[in-house]
Amino acid sequence: MLEQWYNGYVTRIVQETPNTRRFWIQIREKDCFDFKPGQFVTLDLPIHEKKNKRWRSYSIASPPNGTNEIELVIVLLQGGAGTTYLFNEVKEGSELVLKGPLGSFTLPEQLDKELFLICTGTGIAPFRAMAHHIHTHGIPHQPVHLIYGCRQQCDLLYAEEMWQLQDQLSGFKYLPTLSQEDNSWTRHKGYVHLIYEELLALDKRPAYFFLCGWKEMIDEAKQRIMAMGYDRHDIHLELYG
């Protein structure tokens, strides 16, 4: 099957944190851009002659909503050709060539075990889509823990929205943890690993683990989760960089 590329139109851009932007992209060739929460799209950016050096993949941060518009949340990487182009050249009204949806980093058919969604930085994107999807469709679920690591409070993405969701979605816990925050931050401090280890210390319950973010965090989480006695088949990964 030939890969289907689409023209996406940037309808809106919001500077969310000092180095992160939200991009809304409309795929006008489709009435409804259908995908599963957790999937991604690949952009073909005019930054190189070789296509494999032009492609950049980003998780879809919005849940499927029956429209042809999706949201991506992208962090500016110092010296990164892809994000430099997106931040410097792309404006509202710009066109972007993309393909998707792609990937199998998606929720199990039955949410019959506790769900640990563990992420850093923009790795929250697929989990935001998943949490809203569970809420909107009233999907039966065991407790869901969104464990989100950032350096400082100003780096947290979708924080207000996640606190609201914690009030609205039964069994959903939002657990941000900051590694470089000062004493004004009274919630979790340090790294994501301490949180899931603490939650499971007394009772190793059946669980699914979804990990999204930088390779170092994912490698360490995988080792620690397996050291607690979980099977590698319980662990699902989406690597960034």
Greatest alpha-carbon pair distance for the chain in Å reads 55
For residues 84 and 78, give the distance between their C-alpha atoms in angstroms, rounded to a whole number: 8
Residue 211 contacts residue 105 (beta carbons within 8 Å): no
CA gap 123, 129 in Å, rounded: 11
Q: What is the mean pLDDT of residues 111-120?
A: 97
Mean pLDDT on 20-39: 97
Rounded distance, CA 241 to CA 239, Å? 6
The least confident of 25-39, 102-116, 174-188 is 174-188
Cβ-based neighbour number of residue 200 at 10 Å:
18
d(CA 82, CA 53): 9
pLDDT at 27 over 60: yes
CATH class of 5-102: mainly beta
Average pLDDT of the segment spanning 18-39 = 97
Fold match between 5-102 and 114-240? Answer: no
User: What pLDDT is attached to residue 207?
Assistant: 98
pLDDT of residue 239: 82
Sequence-separated (6 or more) residues with CB below 8 Å from residue 240:
121, 122, 123, 212, 213, 214, 215
**CATH class, 114-240 region:** alpha beta
Provide, rounded to the nearest whole percent, the portion of the chain with pLDDT above 70.
99
**Residue 1 predicted with pLDDT over 70:** no
Q: What is the pLDDT at residue 52?
A: 86
Question: Residues for the chain: how many in total?
Answer: 241
| Average pLDDT of span 76-92 | 96
Please give the pLDDT value at position 105.
Answer: 97
Q: Decide: residue 194, CB within 10 A, 0-12 exposed, 13-18 middle, 19+ buried.
A: middle
Residues 123-155 have pLDDT tens digits of 999 999 999 999 999 999 999 999 999 999 999
Of the two residues 172 and 2, the one the predictor is more confident about is: 172
pLDDT digits (tens, 9 = 90+) for 168-206: 999 999 999 999 987 888 898 989 999 999 999 988 999
Task: Spell out the domain ranges in the chain.
Answer: 5-102, 114-240
For residues 74 and 163, the answer to whether their CB atoms sit within 8 Å is no
User: Considering the chain, what is the average pLDDT of its residues?
Assistant: 95
pLDDT of residue 2: 62
Res. 213: pLDDT tops 70: yes
Nearest Cα neighbor of 119 from 111, 133, 129 is 129
